[in-house]
Structure formats: structure tokens, C-alpha cells
């Protein structure tokens, strides 16, 4: 059975603006999503008018980070759908990524018509701090909400204002919740995952290189930063923070030139 897709989009901009790449993404998203809920903490009235009429807009006060926006979108759909989640797939995306070529990402998501009930998906997975799915874009079957542990976890999300606590409780906490409930973590991007070897001989060689040759532990790093070219080429997205920080340790040579060439540099730096 092909399940209907619901998108919950968490938006934040310090000046209350909505970037052109997000507008483009939302407009194209209407072709594949049955319901789209857009939650913003600071959007201006004149910016709201730019968003397609069929998209539900929720404006809330600026506290709680993206996970509290995700919760507000989930609460709206829970009420509208009367808790009938089993025939839906839920997708959660936030504005921390720049959608340079949104059709690439949307084409990928459109193909995920069947998500197994025992799977938790994301674009990327990382072993940084602990094994988890990155929460700038993740999705799973609505049937998981029939699990009381998962339903109550979402119901009890609090508007935390400490970023480290948000990461611990929610970004890492969500994956930990899934693992505890025997839900398998899956990601589209696997290059960093494959670098984590369980072969004892390869592990010895890997540790030697890490200790003596100072080779980075890429399998423990955030892949969307270290492998940003792959994410751009495969999914048409780049992390906003990566563009703004322009940190050389991520091999960002040519990054800003690329974003500028595509016409998105000013929007990215002002976000």
C-alpha cells in the first residue's frame, strides 16, 4: 500500500525572512506531499504571503529550537487526522540546509513511498557522540506512533532553550528511543558509515593512521560537513552553518564560490 506523505517543516530566520530556496522547495514539495505544515518562530507577515495557500502555517514564539516546532506540527496533524497515522509517512525537515537543487532531494523522498514500520530514516547518519540520524531531515512510518513509548516521547517534548540539552534530549534522544524500541536506523548517505570497520586487522590499521598520521575519524564526524560536495551532488543541499563559518577543516575551498554562482550566497550569510 502506498502511504500518503506528510511534511513538517521547521523554519527560523533571525530577521523573520523566508529564503527564496525554501519557497522554491515548498512549492515543489506540493507535488509529493499530501499535507505540508510550515512552523516558524519569527516570520514576518509580508513573508507569510509568499507561501502557497495550501500550506498550513503555524507561527509561534521563538523558543524551543526546531524540535519544538516539529512537535507543534505533529500536534496539528494529530488533531486534524484524529490520530490516524498508520496510512501516512511523516517527513521532518528544517531550514538549516540550503536547497540549491531541491528537485534532487524531493526526487529521493518521493521514492520512499513504502517505509517499513521498523525503520527510522534520514539523509545522513553519524557516530558523532553516539549513533544517530541527523535531524535536519528524517522520516518514518506513521505506524510508529502506535507504539506508546514513541507517541508519548513526542507528546512530552518540552521547549528547551539550552542547545546542548536539545541535542542530548531530542536529536540524539530520538535515535536512542528508536534503537530501544528495536527500530533500525537507516540513511541514504552511507560513505561515513562504511568507513567504520569491525574487522580487527583493518581496525588496527585505522587506529594507527588516526594516532600517528592524524587521519580524521570520519565515521565519527558529521558527514554533511566533511563530505559536503557529495551532499550537494547527490541531494542538492548544503548546510547553512558550513557556508557561514567557512571552516577550512571541512575542505571548504570553492564552497562559497559555488553558492555565489548559484545565486544563494547572500541569503545563506544573512540567515
pLDDT tens digits along 13-61: 999 999 999 999 999 999 999 999 999 998 999 999 999 999 999 999 9
The proportion of the chain whose per-residue pLDDT surpasses 70, expressed as a percent, equals: 99
**pLDDT per residue as tens digits for the range 67-99:** 999 999 999 999 999 989 989 999 999 999 999
Res 88: pLDDT: 93
Nearest to 37, CA basis, from 102, 84, 93: 93
DSSP code for 2: P
**pLDDT per residue as tens digits for the range 177-218:** 999 999 999 999 999 988 877 777 777 777 777 777 777 777
Q: Which residues of 48-57 are buried (b: 16+ CB within 10 A; e: fewer)?
A: eeebeeebeb
pLDDT-derived band at 1, boundaries 50, 70, 90: low
Please name the residue that has the C-alpha cell 512549492.
Answer: 27
Question: Could you tell me if 175 and 133 are in contact, meaning their C-beta atoms sit under 8 angstroms apart?
Answer: yes
CA angle 222, 218, 204 (to 5 degrees): 150
Please name the residue that has the C-alpha cell 506540493.
Answer: 30
The C-alpha cell of 205 is what?
590499521
Residue 199: partners with Cβ closer than 8 Å, 6 or more residues away: none
The rounded distance, in Å, linking the Cα atoms of 35 and 4 is 8
pLDDT at 114 over 80: no
Question: Could you tell me if 123 and 235 are in contact, meaning their C-beta atoms sit under 8 angstroms apart?
Answer: yes
pLDDT at 128 over 90: no
The rounded distance, in Å, linking the Cα atoms of 192 and 48 is 38
Res 113: pLDDT: 66
The rounded distance, in Å, linking the Cα atoms of 105 and 108 is 5
The rounded distance, in Å, linking the Cα atoms of 12 and 39 is 9
DSSP code for 41: S
Question: Could you tell me if 209 and 219 are in contact, meaning their C-beta atoms sit under 8 angstroms apart?
Answer: no
The C-alpha cell of 190 is what?
552511507
Which has more confidence, 229 or 83? 229
Q: What is the reported pTM?
A: 0.94
What value does the mean pLDDT take over residues 122-146? 95
Please name the residue that has the C-alpha cell 553519524.
Answer: 126
**Quick one: residue 47, left, alpha or beta (phi over 0 = left, psi -120 to 50 = alpha)?**
alpha
C-alpha distances in angstroms, 155 versus 39, 122, 138, 260?
17, 21, 18, 41
The rounded distance, in Å, linking the Cα atoms of 228 and 237 is 8
Q: Which residues are bridge partners to 99 per DSSP?
A: 237
Res 101: pLDDT: 98
Res 200: pLDDT: 77
Q: Which residues are bridge partners to 36 per DSSP?
A: 7
End-to-end CA distance of the chain: 40
Amino acid at each position: 500500500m502506498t502511504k500518503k506523505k506528510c511534511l513538517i517543516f521547521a523554519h527560523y530566520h533571525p530577521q523573520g525572512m523566508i529564503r527564496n530556496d525554501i519557497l522554491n522547495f515548498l512549492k515543489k514539495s506540493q507535488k509529493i506531499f499530501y499535507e505540508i505544515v510550515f512552523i516558524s518562530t519569527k516570520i514576518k507577515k509580508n513573508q507569510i504571503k509568499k507561501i502557497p495557500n495550501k500550506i498550513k502555517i503555524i507561527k509561534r514564539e521563538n523558543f524551543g529550537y526546531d524540535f519544538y516546532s516539529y512537535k507543534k506540527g505533529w500536534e496539528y496533524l494529530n488533531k486534524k487526522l484524529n490520530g490516524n497515522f498508520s496510512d501516512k509517512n511523516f517527513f521532518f525537515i528544517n531550514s538549516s540546509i540550503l536547497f540549491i537543487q531541491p528537485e534532487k532531494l524531493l526526487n529521493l523522498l518521493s521514492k520512499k513511498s513504502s517505509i517499513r514500520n521498523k525503520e527510522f530514516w534520514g539523509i545522513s547518519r553519524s557516530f558523532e557522540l553516539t549513533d544517530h540520524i541527523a535531524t535536519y531531515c528524517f522520516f518514518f512510518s506513521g505506524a510508529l506512533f502506535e507504539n506508546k513509548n514513541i507517541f508519548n516521547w513526542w507528546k512530552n517534548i518540552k521547549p528547551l532553550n539550552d542547545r546542548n540539552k536539545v541535542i542530548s534530549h531530542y536529536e540524539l534522544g530520538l535515535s536512542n528511543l528508536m534503537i530501544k524500541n528495536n527500530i533500525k536506523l537507516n540513511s541514504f548517505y552511507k560513505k561515513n558509515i562504511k568507513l567504520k570497520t569491525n574487522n580487527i586487522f583493518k581496525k588496527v590499521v585505522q587506529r594507527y593512521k588516526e594516532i600517528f598520521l592524524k587521519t580524521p575519524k570520519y565515521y565519527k564526524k558529521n558527514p554533511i560537513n566533511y563530505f559536503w560536495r557529495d551532499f550537494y551532488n547527490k541531494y542538492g543541499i548544503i548546510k547553512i552553518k558550513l557556508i557561514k563559518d567557512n571552516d577550512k577543516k571541512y575542505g571548504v575551498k570553492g564552497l562559497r564560490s559555488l553558492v555565489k554562482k548559484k545565486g544563494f550566497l547572500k541569503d545563506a550569510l544573512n540567515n
